[in-house]
Each structure stands twice: as structure tokens, then as C-alpha cells.
Structure 1
């Protein structure tokens, strides 16, 4: 594995046409690869607009099998450009059984693994429990050609346990394909507070685990939702290496020096000092 790796984050707005969204995403993956990206990540559910804004059984037709047609397209690009691709898809596992799933394609085009979103929200405008069965594959990492990575999805961002367990499996970089934004009725101060909380907790995952974090969010207005973009990468000290626009489509490229992980963990030995013998109550919903 290389001492450094260049990440490519594809931040886009989506139209109602899944095929057009897929084509535009593939074009941007190619562009990122041509600019030197080695691991490229899409935003959450890049093929479609964020359909979970409402509960509608017609939206289940948007799902596909994994492996399936989109996985095949991503695999061909990964092989052609010798890049690792993390893609977020709506998986049809069986009749009536659907997941919010991320696929990891290695640089030879092989489907290295899948991650099914574990934490499923149910809030106004985010009715994901209607569509997605909670993941059953656990938290894990994938040894790609360019480094060991972990993948979590959007709402997983708020749970330090998910980041910890993924990092504990060896991940050097945590990728978070994301679709998060503001409702049109919200005030600007509330918008700022929500965005700041979203960014801070993920930078905290970098610090607590001594890893890189890459969050890839969509932009654009869909119904009453304005997605806030601002995809970013933070290093093992939580420093912001890049942050995208709140409004514009972008390809963000970031070089990550993987030796910083070891350096950071030597000086901030959180892994050494963890009291794993004292954390049993984490398996309880609430400690009375």
C-alpha cells in the first residue's frame, strides 16, 4: 500500500432522471481519475434525487440488485482507470427487502465488499425507515490497493460507536456518502448550527480514532430540501484539509499521508489508553 493516497470526492446535484444522474456521476469519476484520484467516493444514493422525503411505494422501483447494472458500470471504470470506487446504491435484496448500501470496487474492478447502512433515521423529510432495512453486515474495513478503508453512510455519522468499530477493524480512512440538508422553513442561525454540529462530530471521529474522514454530500434543491454540500476531508488531528462549496457541484481532490496515522497515535495514544474492560454497558440502551 502507498504511503500517500489521493482521494476524489464527487459532489453533485441530482435530477429526477436516474440514468442521467448515473451518467454524470460516471463522467465525474473519470474526471477525478484523470486528475490523479486513487480512491473516489460518490454521495449517498447518487442515482436519484433523495426520494425519502416522502413515503411512496413507487420509489421501490428505483432499487436494484447488487451486483447489478450500476455495480457493473462502476467496476468497469475502476478497472479501466485502476482506481478504487465507493458507490452508494439503493439495494433490492429480495422482494420487500431493501437496503441503503455502499459498494467498494477495488482498482482491478473486483467487488471487494458491501456495507449496508446500520442506523436508519425517521425524521420529517427523512423517512428512511419506510424504505431501508437496517444493515446486517456489521462494521468492517476493506484492504484496497491504495489503503485500508471503511465505509459508513450519512446518519451513521452521528454515532461514535460506528466510527470506533470501523477504525478498530483497521480502516485508515472513513468514507461517509451523505445526503443532508436544510428544510426551507428553517432559520439561517439554525442552519449554521446544524451544519457545524455535523462537521464537528465527524472531525471528532478523526481525532478520537486517529484516522482520515471523508464526507461526500450532495448539493441542490429538491422539493423543500436544500442540500448543503460542503463535502470535506479531515486528517487524524481533525484538521480540515478541504471543504467544498455549499451550492456548487465539485470534484474535490485531497492527498492524504497515511504515515500521519501512526505519528498521531504515538503522540495521542487513545488506542493504548482505552479501558475496553469497562465498556460493557455500551451494549445497553440506557444505564439507569
Structure 2
């Protein structure tokens, strides 16, 4: 018996950013156009692709970089999706209300309709990643977008380290997990920790693919911005954890891979992790910590 294939061409865009928002938006649109010309059905842009990464310092002036949704950036994404007949996603510095800002991923379907809306849930506060100053944690839950070319779950950067988030995207029906990303090296850390940091990132993401039987892709920034060297390395893994493609660490690239969505059922049938989950025993996952006595809160 021959299994019918559902083939989707997935593109993840890795680009550098200038200080001009209009130039960055125009570059992203050109990349969407190039990806579509090469056959892409789904195009994922990186985190906060329309501007320099804003969170290297706590600067009130940078709230001026935020915009409402719809706004110039999201409308450009929407127009490109509709014009080219592709699904487009990426994250935006959202101004929701006076004094209320989010790091928000949107998904536009191939007809330009808004199919996905997700506000970043996990907000880091690390050297040169002072995101808690800028972003309110999301309140949308782990939503998915049911698009013409597949069901997509889109997390944003720091979300990618949390297996709970990946699992919830998958349980809601996501076939592809995408993570717009802005991850890089601090110059003082790169020599000693750079390799292990990068390997940890990929290992974590590969585990999401295997544990959930889904395709996983990351679109990362590349190039130096002030003190951060974004390490590129954008990639896609298949449901068995096989690397389909990895971009370079130092060049702008558009990674395009073929995703056969029928592989998901095949993989989950042979590795039935969802079947064997003990959902009756996981209540403690809602606790912050469990001490040696078994108590937790």
C-alpha cells in the first residue's frame, strides 16, 4: 500500500539587520519573494526582523520601535503572503496599548488572512538580553495556525528551550514548529562556551522534533549588532530528528527544505510517545518546584 504524500516546501530566512526599519522590512519582503520563487510554501522570518535587536540595554527610546498589529511590518508581511501565495510568519515588537508591549508572532495564510497570533510566553533577562524591560509575557496560550500548507505552531526564541511549550503546540495539532530567533554569542563567552552553547540549542530543538514527531525549524539572525554576534545556523529537523539543512554562521541565507507531512503519522506510529503519555501522573508539572518531601507550589 502506497502512503499518499503531502509535500510542503519550508523556508527559514537568516538575515542581518540595519538600523533602518524600512530597509529591514524591504529586505525581508525580498527574501520572501526569493523563497517563493524557489518554490517555498511557508516562509519563516527571524525574531524582530524589522530592526536591530532592541534588548542589549534598557533604553526607553526603543519603545518607539514598537508598532500596533496591524501596522507597517505586519501589513508588509500580509501583502507579501497574498501576492505570492505563501504562508508568512515572523515576530514583531508589538505596541498593544500605552505601556503594554509584547514580542508577537503572526502567521498570514497564502490568501493574506491572519491565521496565527502568538505572544511570546517565556521572557528572558540575561546580559544583553534584557527582554523583561520591554516585553510583557504573552497571554494567548500556545496557539497554532491552521494554514493552507499545514498546521503551524510558532514560538519565539526563548520559548524554544521549553519542552512543555513544544508539547502543547503539538497537542493542539501542530505539524511544524517554527521559532523566529535572535540568539548569539557574547564576545567574552564565545571562545570557552560558544560551541557548547550552539550545540545545546540545536540539541534542545532536535529533541522537540523527536519527542513530538513534528518538523522543527529555527530562523536566526546573523551578523554583529553592538556587543552581540548572532550566530546564524538556522536549521530544520524532521520528525525523526534528522537534520535536513543547517545554514552557515556568518552569511545571510534562505534555507528551503522539503517536508513530507505524512512522515508525522509514520513516525508517531513507530515511536508512539503520545500514546504512552501518563497524563494522569503529570499534575506536578504545574508546580514551580517540588522539594524532597514531595511538597510543592
| Bin for the TM-score computed over the shorter chain | over 0.9
Q: Which runs of 5+ in 2 are unaligned?
A: 292-297
Which structure 2 residues correspond to residues 123-138 of structure 1 after superposition, within 5 A? 123-138=126-141
Q: Which runs of 5+ in 1 are unaligned?
A: none
The alpha-carbon deviation at position 87 of structure 1 amounts to 1.9
SS in 1 for 2:189: coil
Q: Give the distance between the partners of 2:233 and 2:192, measured in 1 at CA.
A: 17
Which has the larger displacement, 163-172 or 183-192?
183-192
Tell me, yes or no, if the aligned pair for 2:5 and 2:262 is still in contact at 8 Å: no
Q: Give the distance between the partners of 1:48 and 1:258, measured in 2 at CA.
A: 33
Deviation string, structure 1 residues 216-260 (Cα, Å, up to 9, x no partner): 000000111100000000000111000001000001111100011
Tell me, yes or no, if the aligned pair for 1:2 and 1:146 is still in contact at 8 Å: no
SS in 2 for 1:176: strand
Deviation string, structure 1 residues 170-200 (Cα, Å, up to 9, x no partner): 0000000000000111142410000000000
Paired residue for 2:256, among 249, 253, 258?
253
The alpha-carbon deviation at position 142 of structure 1 amounts to 1.2
Deviation string, structure 1 residues 109-129 (Cα, Å, up to 9, x no partner): 011121000000000000000
Identify the residue that residue 228 of structure 1 maps to in structure 2. 231
Paired residue for 2:200, among 197, 202, 213?
197
Identify the residue that residue 102 of structure 1 maps to in structure 2. 105
Q: Give the distance between the partners of 1:114 and 1:165, measured in 2 at CA.
A: 15
Identify the residue that residue 35 of structure 1 maps to in structure 2. 38
Paired residue for 2:72, among 55, 69, 72?
69
Decide whether aligned partners of structure 1 residues 65 and 187 sit closer, same or farther in structure 2, where only a CA change above 3 A counts. Answer: closer
Q: Give the distance between the partners of 2:248 and 2:232, measured in 1 at CA.
A: 6
Which structure 2 residues correspond to residues 1-288 of structure 1 after superposition, within 5 A? 3-288=6-291
Tell me, yes or no, if the aligned pair for 1:230 and 1:245 is still in contact at 8 Å: yes
Deviation string, structure 1 residues 66-89 (Cα, Å, up to 9, x no partner): 112221111111111110000210
The alpha-carbon deviation at position 2 of structure 1 amounts to 7.4
Corresponding pairs, count: 288
Q: Give the distance between the partners of 2:159 and 2:234, measured in 1 at CA.
A: 16
TM-score (norm 1): 0.98
**What's the RMSD between the two structures over aligned residues?**
1.1
Moved over 6 A (4+): none
Tell me, yes or no, if the aligned pair for 2:25 and 2:76 is still in contact at 8 Å: no
